[in-house]
């Protein structure tokens, strides 16, 4: 395969971040956009392994604002890109069993209301009567937003890649970036296994591998890959059609309807950073015990599929978005820490603005700069699952 010799922008990585950035750059008139994905298909890593959840319910203003801009882009997605994304507004229900979580979520609700997200507080009894097949005796209350929901991750990637190609971008698979060259502190080009591409701009959209891409120019990007796993059950005909995305917040355990069954995940907070993507069967047993304790009927179903993927985790669970002062022409769109699918649409647009217009103007993203860590300006997100 021939690869271009020259580009205006090279994007490393073809998950939701790379695909959205390529589309929005091309849409804004950038001519020679080249996206390089080392796998044989786009969107098969973190994006393809995610749970598909989209929500407004966050604890920091910047994350809520990202959702306020990104989720409406998903509403318009099919009309804009001609690709259905199976959007379902099933709502997110955060079940809370600890008094300190109740206090924090109550404070988040106030923030969300101020920003126009009308999350509701539901008392424990109301939840127990709505979900009688779940064991919820210990639930003190829940945060509920019916506007949250689900989408199909692969359709989003395919929609953006097809849209970017229609606008003239070159999106290539089976091309691994192995090095990046600088000249006088400026990006000069990328080296791939198939040859070199001269470019003044590189976008790091390499998901859990973002730190490796930064390392190619001697940059320390604080992103750790952390395994997270999911299982989907065989059919659960007793599950109500309007079953929401339910999160047992204290246990990092979640459920939502997936085809005829249930998709469930539980984050192991002691999982050490690594690139391991095999299912941890010991953790799976702990996960299934916790899942059956909440939904006893799960004892009667089997597992139809299971997989593990990698979160791309920053120290404050917020993304690193925008230009990097150390290397002119190097941009990051990384570290979404478990909620990147839903913020992919707006993040690609914001980065395209920053690259082409010198500054993101749809939303101020200076608080998401890489420099925040050394400047002591990290901002912790509480609603991480």
Ligand X SMILES: Cc1cc2nc3c(=O)[nH]c(=O)nc-3n(C[C@H](O)[C@H](O)[C@H](O)COP(=O)(O)OP(=O)(O)OC[C@H]3O[C@@H](n4cnc5c(N)ncnc54)[C@H](O)[C@@H]3O)c2cc1C
Contact residues for ligand X, defined by CB under 6 A: 12-18, 36-39, 45-47, 49-53, 176-177, 205-209, 228, 230, 265, 309-312, 336, 338-342
Q: How far is the CB of 166 from ligand X (least distance, A)?
A: 20
Q: How far is the CB of 273 from ligand X (least distance, A)?
A: 13
> CA–CA separation, 332 vs 205, rounded Å?
7
Name which of 238 and 265 has its Cβ closer to ligand X: 265
Question: Any alpha helices (H) in the chain, and if so which ranges?
Answer: 16-27, 61-75, 77-81, 99-114, 124-130, 153-166, 210-215, 281-294, 340-357
Structure tokens at 99: 């008094």
> CA–CA separation, 374 vs 107, rounded Å?
28
Which helix H or strand E contains 119, and what residues bound it?
A: none
Name which of 18 and 214 has its Cβ closer to ligand X: 18
Name which of 129 and 269 has its Cβ closer to ligand X: 269
Q: How far is the CB of 222 from ligand X (least distance, A)?
A: 15
Q: How is 52-89 classified by DSSP, letter by letter?
A: -EE-S--SSHHHHHHHHHHHHHHHTHHHHHS-----B-
Q: How far is the CB of 15 from ligand X (least distance, A)?
A: 2
Q: Identify the CA nearest to 199 among candidates 1, 26, 17, 12.
A: 12
Which residue in the block uniquely carries the two structure tokens 């910047």?
62
Q: How far is the CB of 208 from ligand X (least distance, A)?
A: 6
Name which of 144 and 311 has its Cβ closer to ligand X: 311
Name which of 108 and 267 has its Cβ closer to ligand X: 267
Q: How far is the CB of 250 from ligand X (least distance, A)?
A: 18
Is the dihedral angle over the CA atoms 316, 318, 320, 321 positive or is it negative?
negative
Q: How far is the CB of 205 from ligand X (least distance, A)?
A: 5
Name which of 103 and 179 has its Cβ closer to ligand X: 179
Q: Identify the CA nearest to 233 among candidates 251, 257, 266.
A: 257
Residue 166: count other Cβ atoms within 10 Å of its Cβ.
13
Q: How far is the CB of 276 from ligand X (least distance, A)?
A: 12
Name which of 119 and 135 has its Cβ closer to ligand X: 119
Name which of 295 and 342 has its Cβ closer to ligand X: 342
Gyration radius (Cα) of the chain, Å: 21
Q: What is the dihedral of CA 63, 337, 160, 152, to 10 degrees?
A: -100
* DSSP state, residue 190: E
């Amino acid at each position: 395969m021939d690869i271009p010799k020259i580009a205006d922008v090279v994007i490393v990585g073809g998950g939701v971040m790379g695909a959205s950035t390529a589309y929005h750059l091309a849409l804004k008139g950038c001519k020679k956009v080249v996206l390089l994905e080392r796998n044989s298909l786009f969107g098969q890593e973190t994006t393809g392994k995610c749970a598909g959840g989209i929500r407004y319910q966050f604890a920091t203003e910047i994350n809520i604002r990202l959702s306020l801009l990104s989720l409406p882009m998903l509403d318009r997605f099919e009309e804009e890109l001609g690709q259905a994304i199976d959007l379902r507004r099933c709502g997110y229900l955060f079940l809370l069993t600890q008094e300190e979580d109740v206090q924090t979520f109550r404070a988040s609700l106030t923030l969300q209301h101020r920003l126009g997200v009308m999350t509701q507080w539901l008392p424990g009894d109301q939840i127990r009567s709505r979900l009688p097949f779940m064991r919820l005796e210990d639930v003190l209350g829940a945060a509920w937003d019916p506007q949250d929901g689900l989408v199909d991750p692969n359709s989003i990637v395919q929609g953006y890649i097809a849209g970017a190609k229609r606008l003239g971008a070159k999106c290539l698979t089976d091309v691994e970036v192995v090095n990046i060259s600088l000249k006088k502190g400026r990006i000069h080009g990328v080296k791939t296994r198939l040859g070199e591409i001269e470019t003044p701009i590189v976008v790091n959209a390499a998901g859990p591998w973002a730190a490796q891409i930064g390392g190619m120019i001697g940059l320390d990007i604080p992103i750790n890959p952390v395994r997270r796993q999911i299982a989907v059950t065989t059919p659960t005909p007793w599950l109500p059609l309007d079953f929401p995305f339910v999160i047992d917040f204290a246990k990092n355990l979640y459920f939502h309807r997936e085809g005829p069954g249930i998709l469930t995940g539980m984050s192991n907070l002691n999982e050490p950073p690594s690139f391991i993507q095999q299912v941890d069967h010991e953790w799976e047993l702990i996960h299934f015990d916790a899942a059956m304790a909440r939904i006893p009927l799960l004892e009667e179903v089997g597992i139809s599929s299971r997989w593990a993927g990698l979160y791309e985790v920053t120290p404050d669970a917020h993304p690193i978005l925008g230009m990097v002062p150390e290397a002119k022409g190097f941009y990051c769109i990384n570290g979404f820490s478990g909620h990147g699918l839903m913020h992919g649409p707006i993040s690609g647009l914001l980065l395209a603005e920053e690259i082409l217009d010198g500054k993101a103007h749809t939303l101020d993203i200076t608080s998401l700069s890489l420099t925040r860590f050394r400047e002591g300006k990290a901002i912790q997100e509480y609603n991480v699952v």
